Amino acid sequence: MKETLTFTIRRAQPGDVDDMAGAHLDSIRSIGPQYYPADVVNVWGARVKGALYLEAMGRGEEFFIAVGASEGRTDVLGFSSHGVDGDEHHAGVYVRGAATRGGIGSALLRTAEASAIAAGARSIHLDSSLAAVEFYKANGFDEVGRGEHRLWSGRSMACVFMRKALGPSGGSASNRPLQPTSAVRNRS
């Protein structure tokens, strides 16, 4: 039986970026191998460092962290983000492998969605790893296409493009038709 996790969510600060990178790497390394070959997992995590989040914060991206006890210590268990690129609002969630299926990811996603709504978003777009597709579907996202991330090394990584329409109260809006897409997107 999995232990019950107690956690709090707060806005991430610059001093949290190394702990966020640790959670991100743990998620990639513990969950990623179930969906991707080892070489993809290695390249995916190779450039994950706290500096990436500092740069993103400097560009206006917001991060939220879940802090709690897991495996006998207090740590950043996961994080979510909300950013704006042109007219599109984006979000993402990463949770440590040992902290999955405890409600942390859904709580972090709701926090990122609230941030997007406060910034005027009518929808959120994201590129999901294969590992997270079912999580995002369970949280109201629809698949709109499949494609690839181009990782910093030039290696491709399969992903699923997803979208969630947001209503004024933060819930899903009426389902409007979604246009399937396929593409290669560059990612660090």
Record the pTM.
Answer: 0.85
Q: Are 105 and 148 in contact (CB under 8 A)?
A: no
Which tens digits make up the pLDDT trace of 134-161? 999 999 999 999 999 888 888 999 999 9
Q: How many CB atoms neighbour CB 143 within 10 A?
A: 15
pLDDT greater at residue 188 or residue 168: 168
Position 107 in a domain: yes
Position 32 in a domain: yes
> Which residues, 6 or more positions from 21, have their beta carbon under 8 angstroms from its beta carbon?
48, 49, 50, 52, 53
Position 119 in a domain: yes
pLDDT greater at residue 183 or residue 27: 27
Domain residues for the domain of 126 are 7-186
Q: Average pLDDT in the 7-24 region?
A: 97
Position 178 in a domain: yes
Give me the number of domains the chain comprises.
Answer: 1
CATH of the domain at 41: 3.40.630.30
Position 46 in a domain: yes
pLDDT greater at residue 32 or residue 179: 32
Secondary-structure breakdown of the chain: helix, strand, coil percentages, each rounded to the nearest 5: 35, 35, 30
Mean pLDDT computed over every residue of the chain: 87
Q: Are 65 and 9 in contact (CB under 8 A)?
A: yes
Position 1 in a domain: no
Q: Are 85 and 118 in contact (CB under 8 A)?
A: no
In degrees and rounded to multiples of 5, residue 38 shows phi and psi of: -55, -40
Return contacts of 116-123, CB within 8 angstroms, 24+ apart: 116/82, 116/89, 116/91, 116/166, 117/166, 117/168, 117/170, 119/82, 119/84, 119/89, 121/84, 121/89, 121/166, 122/165, 122/166, 122/173, 123/89, 123/163, 123/164, 123/165, 123/166, 123/173
Does pLDDT of 5 surpass 80? Answer: no
| CA dist., res. 41 & res. 37, Å (int) | 6
Position 145 in a domain: yes
Closest CA to 166 of 129, 126, 120: 120
Closest CA to 115 of 140, 95, 92: 92
Tokens of 103: 């409600």
- Confidence (pLDDT) at 188: 38
- Residue 1 — pLDDT band, cuts 50, 70, 90? very low
Which tens digits make up the pLDDT trace of 52-105? 999 999 999 999 999 997 667 789 999 999 999 988 999 999 999 989 988 999
- Confidence (pLDDT) at 180: 36
Position 2 in a domain: no
